[in-house]
């Protein structure tokens, strides 16, 4: 969630400035759909935590529907505000809209894809899908997670995990030169699929983690796939079938197997790519954050925006926040002592970070020696003793 929440706040600022209406669920209406039905273009439907069963049909409305994540930036609201498909398909629908409708801050679960579209169905529209989790869905055929027909989309900070389909998890079909998808800061993991992506127009994956998916056929079929600052590891498909009939462009990404890992012959292998263990925090528990020693830190495209900590962009969906340690100078003055006498002072250093703190030197020691501890474990207090001898 590097910058998307700020963008969503700007949407709300525009809403207030334009005197558009904010409809609160369930205060104003019991269901999300009833709230949507009462909107006009530019309105916002703000949803309290809870489980909401059934379809959410935007149709052609240019509106924003979001959880309290929209106003707070608190990702806990993504988990606690749930749209449950109740085993049905086409749960979130966008149709024939001219604007950029927004859905933000929900978990969409328990959807079924029979023919076209399980969780999100989009036809002739251009939605923004932000901070949405699509999990625990099942089905077959086309587009269990997202189905796009003659549509473009911006997909930011989303999670697609633990879904099972004998068809395509993502199905993107449209008009070449017109439709395009940007998927940014997303994570796609632990899905069992036939094919991950099937499409015929460009899809840009930026700072996205695609790991531990199992494909019966292939991951990428047809279309043009552009990867920047991405991680692709641990995906299981028939040998040589990571991509089939897809044009692949890769730069500044961590790709298992390197260029040969894709298996196709339409690959443009750019600068900055690596093939090494990304050192995730805890992949067994689906935690794909980077650890401090990860080779993916500060190795993304240097032309991209810097990470929020002010460093070069990382590879993958979750950047590693690097803390600057700033210590004000501390001056210790010993009182006069006689020849051959020894005096000492002590103070304490606390390391409340996540990694070891190392002090390389203490400067300015005169008229004797200095002693200090070299390394400090996290969450420990250690005494420092400085001795002065005349």
CB atoms closer than 10 angstroms to residue 10: 10
> Is 311 inside any structural domain?
no
Give the model's confidence band at 7: pLDDT under 50 very low, under 70 low, under 90 confident, else very high. low
Structural domain range at position 356 = 342-389
> Is 213 inside any structural domain?
yes
> Is 230 inside any structural domain?
yes
- pTM for the model: 0.81
Is residue 57 located within the same domain as residue 155? yes
d(CA 257, CA 250): 13
Is residue 189 located within the same domain as residue 100? yes
Is residue 278 located within the same domain as residue 348? no
Q: In 3D, which of 179, 213, 180, 184 has the Cα closest to residue 196?
A: 213
d(CA 149, CA 173): 5
> Is 299 inside any structural domain?
no
> In this predicted model, what pLDDT tens digit does every residue of 305-343 receive, in sequence order?
988 888 999 999 999 998 765 556 666 666 666 666 666
Q: In 3D, which of 358, 366, 370, 373 has the Cα closest to residue 390?
A: 366
> In this predicted model, what pLDDT tens digit does every residue of 205-234 receive, in sequence order?
999 999 999 988 888 888 899 999 999 999
Is residue 253 located within the same domain as residue 374? no
> Is 306 inside any structural domain?
no
d(CA 144, CA 12): 30
> Is 78 inside any structural domain?
yes
Is residue 269 located within the same domain as residue 353? no
Please enumerate, as own/partner, the contacts of 10-16 that have beta carbons within 8 Å and a separation of 24 or more: 11/44, 11/64, 11/102, 12/44, 12/64, 12/70, 12/71, 15/42, 15/43, 15/44, 15/64
pLDDT at res. 140: 84
pLDDT above 80: residue 98? no
pLDDT at res. 388: 47
> In this predicted model, what pLDDT tens digit does every residue of 129-143 receive, in sequence order?
999 999 999 988 888
Is residue 140 located within the same domain as residue 44? yes
Is residue 16 located within the same domain as residue 126? yes
> Structurally, how many domains does the chain consist of?
2
Is residue 264 located within the same domain as residue 378? no
pLDDT above 90: residue 146? yes
Cβ atoms of 224 and 246 closer than 8 Å: yes
Give the model's confidence band at 265: pLDDT under 50 very low, under 70 low, under 90 confident, else very high. confident
d(CA 214, CA 8): 34
Is residue 279 located within the same domain as residue 143? yes
CATH code of 278's domain = 2.160.20
Cβ atoms of 377 and 356 closer than 8 Å: yes
Distances (CA, A) of 282 to 135, 211, 315, 367: 19, 13, 17, 50
pLDDT at res. 262: 84
């Amino acid at each position: 969630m590097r910058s998307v929440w700020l963008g969503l706040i700007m949407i709300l600022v525009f809403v207030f400035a334009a005197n558009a209406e904010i409809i609160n669920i369930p205060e104003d209406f019991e269901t999300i759909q009833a709230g949507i039905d009462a909107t006009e273009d530019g309105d916002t439907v703000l949803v309290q935590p809870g489980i909401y069963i059934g379809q959410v049909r935007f149709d052609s409305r240019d509106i924003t529907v979001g959880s309290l994540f929209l106003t707070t930036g608190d990702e806990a609201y993504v988990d606690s505000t749930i749209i449950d498909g109740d085993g049905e398909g086409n749960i979130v629908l966008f149709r024939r809209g001219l604007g950029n409708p927004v859905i933000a801050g929900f978990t969409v679960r328990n959807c079924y894809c029979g023919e076209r579209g399980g969780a999100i169905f989009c036809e002739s529209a251009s939605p923004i899908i932000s901070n949405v989790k699509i999990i625990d869905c099942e089905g077959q055929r086309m587009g269990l997670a997202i189905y796009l027909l003659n549509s473009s989309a911006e997909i930011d900070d989303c999670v697609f995990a633990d879904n099972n389909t004998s068809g395509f998890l993502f199905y993107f079909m449209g008009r070449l030169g017109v439709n395009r998808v940007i998927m940014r800061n997303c994570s796609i993991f632990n899905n069992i699929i036939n094919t991950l992506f099937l499409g015929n127009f460009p899809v840009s994956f930026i700072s996205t983690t695609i790991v531990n998916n199992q494909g019966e056929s292939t991951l990428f079929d047809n279309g043009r796939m552009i990867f920047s600052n991405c991680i692709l590891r641990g995906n299981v498909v028939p040998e040589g079938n990571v991509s089939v009939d897809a044009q692949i462009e890769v730069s500044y990404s961590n790709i298992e197997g390197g260029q040969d890992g894709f298996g196709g012959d339409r690959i443009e292998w750019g600068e900055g790519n690596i093939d090494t263990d990304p050192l995730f925090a805890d992949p067994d528990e689906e935690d794909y954050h980077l650890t401090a020693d990860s080779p993916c830190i500060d190795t993304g495209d240097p032309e991209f925006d810097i990470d929020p900590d002010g460093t070069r962009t990382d590879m993958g969906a979750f950047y590693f926040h690097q803390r600057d340690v700033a210590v004000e100078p501390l001056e210790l003055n010993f009182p006069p002592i006689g020849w051959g006498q020894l005096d000492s002072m002590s103070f304490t250093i606390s390391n409340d970070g996540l990694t070891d703190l190392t002090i390389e030197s203490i400067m300015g020691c005169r008229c004797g020696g200095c002693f200090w501890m070299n390394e400090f474990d996290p969450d420990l207090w250690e005494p420092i003793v400085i001795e002065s001898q005349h």
